[in-house]
Amino acid sequence: MRHHHQFRMAVASCPNGCSQPHIADFGLIAFARIGLEPAKCSGCGHCVAICAEKALHLEDGIRLDPSRCLGCAACARVCPEKALRVDQTGYRVLIGGKLGRHPRLAHELGFYELPDALEILGKVLRVFMGHHRTGLRLGDLVEKLGREEFNDLVRP
């Protein structure tokens, strides 16, 4: 890739996304998959109190709502009984964000461990350079090819 080709990448080590991965061509956000051992839970509520996303609930034992969890692992760090643990770490892969005249947020490809995330980056760059023309941003290419077709081209 040459210096005049535009391709922005951002890596965020937590869900706050201070590096702005949602508006980069390619973004990574660190993510921890949380595992539960309900039998160990004492019901102290430390995890519920620290979860900014309200993804944890204590009615009928500890329960995690995966649709709300952003994978920060704060709950696992404060659990005195180790009823919550980090089962897997990796990255949420985001593709096609941009600002400018026609802004768009990146779409999420999924959760991947680092080797797969880097493989995806390589594929994204190959697809992008194969279609490149002056002024083209990755988000434009995703729209042109269609999100699902693009995703199929870059998944490991």
> Would you list the DSSP string of 85-125?
EEEEEEEEEEE--B-SSS-BPPEEEEEE-HHHHHHHHHHHH
User: Cα dist. 150→20, 88, 103 in Å?
Assistant: 22, 27, 19
In angstroms, rounded to a whole number, what is the distance separating the alpha carbons of residues 96 and 105?
7
CATH number for the segment(s) 9-30+95-154: 3.30.413.10
Is a pLDDT exceeding 80 seen at residue 14? yes
**pLDDT 10s digits, 73-86:** 999 999 999 999 99
Nearest CA to 73 out of 49, 54, 89, 92 is that of 89
Q: Rounded to two decimals, what is the model's pTM?
A: 0.88
From the CB of residue 54, how many other CB atoms can be counted at a distance below 10 Å? 10
**Domain ranges, ordered by start, for the chain:** 9-30+95-154, 32-89
Is a pLDDT exceeding 90 seen at residue 2? no
Q: Which CATH architecture has domain 32-89?
A: 2-Layer Sandwich (3.30)
**pLDDT 10s digits, 42-52:** 999 999 999 99
Residues 6+ apart with CB under 8 A from 119: 156
User: To the nearest whole number, what is the mean pLDDT of the chain?
Assistant: 94
Residues 6+ apart with CB under 8 A from 6: 25, 137
